[in-house]
Structure 1
Amino acid sequence: MNIDVKQAIAIAKEYAKEIFEDEGLGAPSLEEIWFDDEKNEWCVTVGLRVGPMVRMAEVAAQMGMAGRDNIVYKTVRVSAIDGTPVSVTIREVAA
């Protein structure tokens, strides 16, 4: 394994930011990470705030009132060998 956890997080966040930049989503925040031994991939889940709620969420966070509403979750799989983003999937959240 050549890519460590911090590198995988940085790669996943940058990739999510890049591919969703035209969708009106906020900057990706780290939600969870795990390693898939079978596929030799880091699985990094990021949260992206939706649409007009992005700015409201930033203000709420500054006031210490950050919430989890209006966030979509995506899991970015990153190769542990060379850091290549492999896939992006929707991360369903249990209610």
Structure 2
Amino acid sequence: MLVDVETRCPIDLLPDRETDTLAARLAERTGIEIVCRDRAPFFAEGATRGAPQAIQVADRWHLWHNLGEAAEKCVYRRRGCLRPMPAQPAEPQAETVTAAAAARA
């Protein structure tokens, strides 16, 4: 789907995810300055061929998604380095709380 990111309105729905299809549709539209896309190789090649003057940027959703995946993989790979959490102290006995409250009174 092609979307005008300034107006957030859909422009076109491509019939497939082919490089040639994207390149042809972008070439039909003059004045494209920025192409916001995910990192799929066909998008990169299609944007380069169809709108060579445009700057290509990654879209925000895919940046956050990729960052989350990278962080998850990093933590998983390093899980052996993590120390177990220390044991939580037991909750105070009801008698101790009652004695402390009595001392304050």
Calculate the TM-score normalised by the size of structure 1: 0.23
Indicate the structure with greater helix content.
Answer: 2
- Structure number with the bigger relative contact order (C-alpha 8 A, sep ≥ 6) is 1
Q: Which has the larger radius of gyration?
A: 2
Indicate the structure with greater strand content.
Answer: 1
